[in-house]
Chain A
Amino acid sequence: MTAKRKRTRPQPSAGNQRLQLHRQVARESLQRLLASPLSSGITVLVIAIALFLPALLYLLNSNLNAGLVGAADNTRLTIYLQSNISNTNEQAVSEYLLSKFGSESIEYISEEQAMESFSRSAELGDLLTSLPDNPLPAAFVVSPQLDDDTEIENLILELETMEGVELVQLDRLWLQRLQALSDLLTLLSRALALVVLVGLLAIVGNTIKLLIEHRRQEIQVIKLIGGSNSYIARPFLYTGLMLGLTGGLCACLLIGLMGLNLATAVAELSDLFGGNWRLNGLDALQYLTLVLTGGGIGWLAALIASYRNIATIEP
């Protein structure tokens, strides 16, 4: 027996064999998909659009966040001083700020400077100069490099209790509003992703179910010969996977095309507003995630559809 074995051709290893079988099944699935290009194409398109929408929302949100991070660096703390502040108190505030921040991030605006810049920027200049006293207070403007919100809060509390300080203002409210908006967008994109997931499972699942129904007779024959449910399901799983992957690829293409078209427009808009925002696209890993998400959803939908429909077909 063993001697006989040795003379036959070398047998491929079990792993190789399995790979070969899978490749064959995959090729079969692909041929079947290409045999009905219209319905396959429509399914792919639906998957692509369904994946495109949450990806777009994610992209908008991440761009907004990138802008917010940039803006957070520009957080300004303005410490308005009382008009009758004594030199020693002013010195104390100045030293305290110097101990917390480098001298280069602290700016002192005297009452006169405030008056000057205000009258330059606003039409109220004449009105202000006609007043007997300068109503504008002197102020320190600090750009704190603090990421921690509580640290800033503590700083503000500290400063507010200091002698001669009128008001401490954190130039941040609009940032917080944008942050809240961004949080809302995150929530929305997650909800949308969930809806899309369920919707895609239903749509791809239905496509696979129709394919199974279409091959009912064939499935019956295979079952008569001894094909198990999982053997019969295998080509359908590949079909789902291929539809999903192709849909994911198309979604990437849509995102990429949109990026190309919008990039210049966004840059122009940003330049008009004197900003330097640029539209950030997805990176390679995110594109890959999008494709794999599509594939995963397609496969899962096929798995559910096969599980539910193949077992009920009996010869």
Chain B
Amino acid sequence: MIKFDNVSKQYEAGRDALSQVSFDVAKGEMAFVTGHSGAGKSTLLKLILAMERASNGQVMVDGINLNRLARAKIPKHRLQIGTVFQDHQLLFDRTVGDNVALPLQIAGFPYQDTQRRVRAALDKVGLLQKEKLMPEKLSGGEQQRVGIARAVVNRPRIILADEPTGNLDPELSNEVMKVFQQFQSVGVCLLVASHDRELIARLNCRTLTLEQGKLIGDG
């Protein structure tokens, strides 16, 4: 589903943000990406979202070669991926419910369908009663869970998550991971960037370890 083939990415400075990274995450598989900050996790996610293009090698997502993806087709590509951002990336001028509804609105879902799915997604992260609130009234952990609800509301085939449990206590982290595992069980491919060694160890998932842009561990 997500396939990196000898991918390198250089920014202007000349240092490799990623160098010759190869891996393949299948349908229905959940993999963690770990490493120190600056190891290349963000670059990896940016490449998958087509925010950046690889300098070398090929990034294939759902059978599409992102190197050859036309700019006009990038939105559709991103719409198929549910992304949980580290800094949440919520819109603060609309309610929690409207934030979660955003991917459905973009995809053109009918109103009633949208409402139903938004409630289901908020229910999954335990925020159903906060649907009408503005995001700024929520704690950091709650905002993060709104971001997670938004990422899954569209029932995407791929979920990317950048530190999704960074602001959450262990109990809530487990809840979120359970949601992720539910998606995994219905064939969704998940790639989760995380520092949380304890959580990774407990879940016993495949782990890609990055160090200074190189993939030094896979398993």
* Chain A partners chain B: yes
* A20-B111, A315-B51 known; A225+B93 contact, CB < 8 A: no
* A222-B106, A225-B102 known; A9+B112 contact, CB < 8 A: yes
**Contact between B108 and A21, CB atoms less than 8 A apart:** yes
| Cα(A12)–Cα(B105), bound, Å | 15
Say whether B37 faces chain A, with CB atoms less than 8 Å apart: no
* A12-B110, A221-B89 known; A226+B78 contact, CB < 8 A: yes
A-contacting residues, B80-131, CB 8 Å: 80-81, 83, 85, 89-91, 93, 102-103, 105-108, 110-112
* A9-B112, A227-B75, A231-B75 known; A222+B102 contact, CB < 8 A: yes
Chain A residue numbers with a CB within 8 Å of B72 are 228
Kindly count the residue-residue contacts between A and B in the assembled complex, taking CB atoms under 8 Å apart: 57
Partner of B103, one of A20, A223, A226, A228: A226
Residue of A nearest to B103 (CB): A225
| Cα(A18)–Cα(B111), bound, Å | 10
B-contacting residues, A182-222, CB 8 Å: 218, 221-222
| Cα(A222)–Cα(B105), bound, Å | 11
Say whether A17 faces chain B, with CB atoms less than 8 Å apart: yes
* Binary per-residue interface labels of chain A (221-256) against chain B in the complex, 1 for a CB within 8 Å, 0 otherwise: 111111111010000000000000000000000000
Q: How close is B117's CB to chain A, nearest CB, in angstroms?
A: 13
Chain A residue numbers with a CB within 8 Å of B49 are 224
**Contact between A226 and B77, CB atoms less than 8 A apart:** yes
Residue of A nearest to B73 (CB): A228
Partner of A225, one of B51, B79, B108, B111: B79
**Size class of the contact patch on chain B:** 20 to 34
Instruction: Count contacts on A: residues with CB < 8 A to the other chain.
Output: 21
Partner of B106, one of A12, A18, A24, A226: A226
Chain A residue numbers with a CB within 8 Å of B81 are 226
* A224-B49, A226-B75, A228-B75 known; A17+B106 contact, CB < 8 A: no
Say whether A84 faces chain B, with CB atoms less than 8 Å apart: no
* A221-B91, A227-B106 known; A24+B78 contact, CB < 8 A: no
Q: How close is B118's CB to chain A, nearest CB, in angstroms?
A: 14
| Cα(A18)–Cα(B75), bound, Å | 19
Q: How close is B139's CB to chain A, nearest CB, in angstroms?
A: 20
Residue of B nearest to A227 (CB): B106
**Contact between A226 and B79, CB atoms less than 8 A apart:** yes
Say whether B41 faces chain A, with CB atoms less than 8 Å apart: no
Residue of B nearest to A215 (CB): B93
Chain B residue numbers with a CB within 8 Å of A21 are 105, 108
A-contacting residues, B30-72, CB 8 Å: 49, 51, 72
Residue of B nearest to A25 (CB): B105
Say whether A150 faces chain B, with CB atoms less than 8 Å apart: no
Say whether B9 faces chain A, with CB atoms less than 8 Å apart: no
Q: How close is A258's CB to chain B, nearest CB, in angstroms?
A: 40
Can you give 10 contacting A-B residue pairs, CB < 8 Å? A11-B110, A222-B91, A224-B85, A225-B106, A226-B76, A226-B106, A226-B107, A228-B72, A228-B76, A228-B106
Beyond known contacts A12-B110, A228-B76: 7 more, CB 8 A cutoff: A18-B108, A225-B102, A226-B75, A226-B79, A226-B107, A228-B72, A231-B75
